[in-house]
Every structure is written in C-alpha cells, then in structure tokens.
Structure 1
C-alpha cells in the first residue's frame, strides 16, 4: 500500500494543519477549577496527561492569553473535574469566555481546603502545582495529586474532530 503524500506537510507546518491533525485525535474532557483568592475560576481542557505514578503527577496546558492563565499562575492548588458523558453543556459553559462560569446553572461546592469542585462529575483530582514550564504560547502545569474521588463505572465525555462525544458503558459494564 502506498501512502498518499499529497496532503503531507513538512515539519514547522502552519497552525491550521497542526489543529487539523489533532482534531482527529480523541481526548478526554476535564474542567479545571481553582480559586487564587479572587473567587472561583475554571476552564475546559483536553490536554490533561498522567505523568507519573510514584509520585502521582499530572500535567495540563493553558494559553498565556486565556482569561484563566492569571488565576492558574497565582494558584497553588487546582481541581481536575473529569466530565461524564452527559456533561457536554458543562464543558461548553467552561469553554465560553466572558461569562460567570460558576453562576446558575452550574452546581458546585468547596472542598474542605476551599478549592471549588463541580457537583455531579464522575471523578476529580485535587492537585498541588509543582512546576510551570513555558512552552510556546502556552504554559505546561505539572501538579502532584493530593486527593481524589471517583464514582463507580463513569462514562467519559471525549472531544474528537471538533465535537463532543460520549463513551457509554454497555450493559455488561464494559466500555465498547
């Protein structure tokens, strides 16, 4: 089989091609929530990655030009809220600029340490920021997991090709 190289782009390709390639790569959807002393803030992300089991580390990226970056920059802790299959509206809400993302209909509460966490998510991680690494027009945030919660048999929300999708569990409990 011969590959069609007519759409091949050399390294250093235009941002549009870079976006197009990653639109074809599915990613889990999370909402990161935090409070750096100015009230709760949060944003939708698909860049969450597990880095290490011992110690438990995760990373995510945030644009330096986003309204959330100053909050992330000034915060020591964050909550990674994993979104479930039925939470597309919540993902869209936290991806929308210029609104109070924590106003109704968002349901949330504070953990004992004061971090905001979303209600009805299938799982969350509370992380402490350990390192922030410059990376182009973004910052990569590395955090150590300090606390977590997971509901039984969550069905995740994923993002693929510019749209949200769900991975529903089948009747036998296995994800197809």
Structure 2
C-alpha cells in the first residue's frame, strides 16, 4: 500500500475510484427538464428523512437543479447501464434519447422502469469546493416489487452489478 502526505487531484480521483457506489439519475423540472447521472447520492438522516447528492456548479444541469423546489432520484437496475450513459452524455437531449419518462409533481421528470424512485423537496444547498451539496426531504417514493432485481453500481471507473448470494 502506498502512503502519501499530499493528496492531489489525480490521486484523490484514483482513491475515490476504489469506492463502489450506487448509480442514480437525478432529474429536475425546467424548460427543458434536466437530468444527470450521479454516484454521490446518499441517505443523511432517518428523522427527519433526508438525502443528499453533489453536483458541480459547472454542470449543464446545475441551473435547473439550483432553481428546483422538487427533484427526483432514480436508482437504476443492473440492466440500465444505457440509461446511466445517456444521462452522463454531453451535448444531447437526454430525455429525448431516453424516451421512457413522464412528468410528476411540480413537473419533475420521472423515469420509468427503475429500481426505486424518490420524489424529494429540496431543503438546503451548501457550497462545498467546486460542487454544491443538495439536501432534500423525500415526499414520496416507489420501488420495484421484485426483490431479486439488483442495482447498477460504479466501481473503479466502470459500471458493475451485485451478485446475490443465498
């Protein structure tokens, strides 16, 4: 194991690639609506229920997220790598390319066929470095009824999935 006393951007990125994370698509209403692939989503609190995600303020989705009162978090299934890639692509109409979505509360886009969806009310935005941490309270949610369906994860620079064991 290599130990260093200074963590530069390249080393930081390399270290974080060792952390496996669930892949989600976060959507926000707007004209046009915004959506992006994220691995920074996490639960924060059970009482009150809070979740968070981070977004660079230079991201194309940032203006819509910054203005949004309502966002939706979509946990992707292992078969939805194409959805993750679509919402990570630059310079395209991500919703037209994806196709399977409909407007939800406050016009937030809701993707169809995902493992779980949380519709959330944005409660706080905290600037942190070149990103903003968005805190949100879930107001509704639904999940895939089949417990054998597993999430898409991201690890070491590529998409992967979990293998269930008995």
Q: Give TM class, smaller chain.
A: over 0.9
Residue among 154, 159, 162 paired with 1:164 = 159
Residue among 101, 119, 141 paired with 1:148 = 141
Question: In the alignment, which residue of structure 1 is the partner of 2:10?
Answer: 16
| Counterpart-to-counterpart distance in 2, 1:140 and 1:72 | 11
Quick check: which has more Rg, 1 or 2? 1
Residue 25 of structure 2 contacts residue 73 of structure 2 at CA under 8 Å; is this kept in 1? yes
Question: In the alignment, which residue of structure 2 is the partner of 1:101?
Answer: 94
Question: In the alignment, which residue of structure 2 is the partner of 1:78?
Answer: 71
Bigger drift between 127-136 and 106-115 goes to 106-115
Query: Which residues of 2 match residues 93-132 of structure 1 at below 5 A?
Result: 93-132=86-125
The question of 1:34 aligning with 2:4 is answered no
Question: Runs of 5+ in structure 1 lacking a partner?
Answer: none
**Alpha-carbon RMSD:** 1.3
| Counterpart-to-counterpart distance in 1, 2:105 and 2:129 | 36
| TM-score between the two structures when normalised by the length of structure 2 | 0.94
User: C-alpha offsets along residues 13-37 of structure 1, whole Å, 9 cap, x if unaligned?
Assistant: 11000000010110000000111x3
| Counterpart-to-counterpart distance in 2, 1:168 and 1:8 | 32
Runs of 4+ deviating beyond 3 Å: none
Question: Runs of 5+ in structure 2 lacking a partner?
Answer: none
Residue 122 of structure 2 contacts residue 136 of structure 2 at CA under 8 Å; is this kept in 1? yes
| Counterpart-to-counterpart distance in 1, 2:108 and 2:25 | 13
Cα distance, 1:114 vs structure 2: 2.2
